[in-house]
Structure 1
Amino acid sequence: MKRARIVEFYSRLAADNPHPETELESGNVFQLLVAVVLSAQATDAGVNKATRRLFADVTTPEQMVALGEDGLKAHIRTIGLFNTKAKNVIALSEALIADHCGQVPNDRAALEKLPGVGRKTANVVLNTAFGAETFAVDTHIFRVCNRTRLAPGKTVLAVELKLDKATPQPFRLHAHHWLILHGRYVCKARRPECWRCVVADLCPFEPKTPPPGTRAAGQA
C-alpha cells in the first residue's frame, strides 16, 4: 500500500473512532498487565467477566502474591489455560516485587523477562499504559494487515516490523487499537462485513462480502 493510501486508510479509521481504547478493564498498570496475560487465547469480554471481582480486591503484586495460585484460579477458571496463567501471574507478581519494587517497568526487555509475558503482551502494555508507539500484532491485526495489504507478512513479527515502518504520524500511537477493533468487529475472519467497512474501497481483498439478504455479484 502506497503512503498516500495508508494516510487515507488511517484517516478514515480515525474519523470513525477518534479515541480508540483497549476493551480490557483495569484500574492501574499492574491490573492491565495481568489482564493482557490472561487474554491470550481468550476474549476480552471473558477476561473482564473473570477479573471484575478479582480486581476489586487485588490491585498490587503484593496482594496477588498473598491471594496465591489457588485463590487466583478460583477467580479465573472460566478463562482458557487458567492453570498455566495463574502460575505465571503469581510468578510475574513475585518478580515485580523482587526486581522492580512492585512497579511494572516501562521497558520492553524487562517486561519480556516476566513470566508469561511475550513480545505482544509487552507491546500492549507499553502502548496502552505508557504511550509508546508499539504495534502488538494479534490474530485480528495479522488478518487485517494481510487482507488490506497495509503490512503483509507471513509471521506476526514480519507484520509488526512492516507496520512500524509503514505507519506515519499522527497515527502511530493509536494504530494498534484501530486495527484490532476493525478486525474484531468489521474485518472478521469468517465473514468480513465489507458492506459497512469505511476502508473497503482501499482494500484489495476479494470477493467483497455483500450485505445480508443480498446476492454476491455474478450470482443468479
Structure 2
Amino acid sequence: MTRDQIFEFFRRLAEANPAPETELEYGNVYQLLVAVVLSAQATDVGVNKATRALFRDVKTPQQMLDLGEDGLKAHIKTIGLFNAKAKNTILLSEILVREHGGEVPADRDALTALPGVGRKTANVVMNCAFGAETFAVDTHIFRVGNRTGLARGKTPLAVEKQLEKKVPRPFRVGAHHWLILHGRYVCKARKPECWRCPVADLCGYRSKEPDPAVVAAARKERRPGPAVARRPGPRRTAA
C-alpha cells in the first residue's frame, strides 16, 4: 500500500470504531497482564469466562500469591495449557512483589523478563495500560498485514517492524486493536468477508470473496425450471 492508502485504511477503521479496546476483561493493570498471559493460544471469550470469578477476589500480585497455584488452577482449568500458565502467573506475581513493589512496570524489557511474558504480551500491556505506540502481532494481525499488503513479513516480528514504520501518527495507539478486530470479525482466516469490508478497495488480496447472498440469488436465477412432460402423439402405421 502507498502512504495515502495506509492513511485511508486506518481512517476508515477509526471512523467505524473511534475508541477501540481489547476484548479481554480486567479491572487494573495487573489483571490485564494476567489476562493476556492466559490468552496465549486461547480465545478472549474463554479467558473472560475463567477470570470473572478470579478477578473478583484477586486484584493484586500478593492476593494471587495468597490464592496459590492450586487455587489459580481451579479457576483457569478450562483454558488451554492452564498448568504452565498457572505456574508462570505465580512466578511473575512473586517477581512483581519482590522487585517492583507489586506494580506492573511500564517498560517492555522489564515485562519480557517476567515468566510467561513474551514480546506480544508486553506490547499488549504497554499499549492498553500505558498508551504506548506498540503493535502486538498475533495471528490476526499477521494475517491481515500480509493479506492486505499493509505490512508483509515472514515472521510476527517482521510484520511488527513494518507496522512501526508505516502506521501514521494519528492511528498508532489504536492500530493494533483495529487490526485485531478486523482480522477476527471481517478478514477471517478461512473465508474473509470481503463483501462487507470497509477497506476492500485498498486491499491487495486478489481473491475477493463475493457476497454469499448475491451468489445464491444468481444461482437461483440460473437454475432451470421443472421439465414439462410431453404427451405422446398418435402412433403412425405403415401404409
Residue in structure 2 matched with residue 89 of structure 1 by the alignment: 89
Q: Find the counterpart in structure 1 of residue 25 from structure 2.
A: 25
**Stretches of 4+ moved more than 4 A in 1?**
none
Partner of 1:48: 48
1:117-166 C-alpha deviation (Å, 9 max, x unpaired): 00000000000000000000000000000011101000000000000000
Aligned counterparts of 1:191 and 1:202: Cα–Cα separation in 2: 18
Deviation at 1:73, TM superposition (A): 0.3
CA-CA distance at 1:199 after TM superposition: 0.2
Distance in 2 (CA, whole Å) between partners of 1:63 and 1:9 is: 43
- What is the aligned partner in structure 2 of residue 177 from structure 1? 177
Query: C-alpha separation between the residues in 1 aligned to 2:34 and 2:182?
Result: 24
Match of 1:128 in 2: 128
Tell me the amino acid that sits aligned with residue 120 of structure 1: K
CA drift of 1:210 comes to: 1.1
C-alpha distance in structure 2 between counterparts of 1:36 and 1:129, whole Å: 12
Q: Give identity over the alignment, percent.
A: 73
- Give distance in 2, aligned partners of 1:171 and 1:75: 37
Post-superposition CA distance 1:152-202 (Å, at most 9, x none):
000000000000000111000100000000000000001100011000000
SS, match of residue 170 in structure 1: helix
The equivalent residue for 1:67 is: 67
Partners of 1:50 and 1:149 in 2: CA distance: 36
Separation in 1 of the partners of 2:48 and 2:4? 38
Determine the structure 1 residue equivalent to 2:225. none
Partner of 1:118: 118
Helix, strand or coil at the partner of 2:214: coil
Aligned to 2:211: 211
How far did residue 212 of structure 1 move?
1.8
TM-score normalised by the chain length of structure 1: 0.97
SS of equivalent to 1:106: coil
User: 1:2 matched to which residue of 2?
Assistant: 2
Stretches of structure 1 that go unaligned for 5 or more consecutive residues are: none
Superposed CA offset, 1:33-74 (max 9, x none): 000000000000000000000000000000000101100000
Instruction: For 1:4 and 1:206, locate their aligned partners in 2 and report how far apart those are by CA, in whole Å.
Output: 20
Unmatched tracts of structure 2, length 5 or more: 223-239
User: If the length of structure 2 is used for normalisation, what is the TM-score?
Assistant: 0.90
Amino acid at match of 1:31: Q
Secondary structure of the structure 2 residue equivalent to 1:96: helix
Corresponding residue for residue 16 of structure 2: 16
- Cα distance in 2 for residues equivalent to 1:27 and 1:147: 35
1:166 aligns with 2:178: no
Alignment of 1:139-158 (within 5 A): 139-158=139-158
Task: Indicate the structure (1 or 2) with the bigger Cα radius of gyration.
Answer: 2
Amino acid at match of 1:127: N
- Output one character per residue of 1:88-110: Cα deviation in whole Å (capped at 9) or x when no partner: 00000001001100000000110
